[in-house]
Amino acid sequence: MAVEEKRAWIMIVVTAASYGAYLAIVLGRPGSGPLAEAPYVAALLWTVGASVVASIALHLTVALLTPEEDRVRDQRDREIHRFGEYVGQSFVVMGGVAALVLAMADADQFWIANAVYLAFVLSALLGSTAKIVAYRLGFQPW
In degrees, rounded to 5, the angle at the alpha carbon of residue 26 between the alpha carbons of residues 129 and 100 is: 65
H-state helical runs in 1-142: 3-27, 41-65, 75-104, 109-137
- In tens, the pLDDT along 58-108 reads 999 998 888 877 777 788 888 888 888 888 998 899 999 999 999 999 999
Overall pTM surpassing 0.95 (yes/no): no
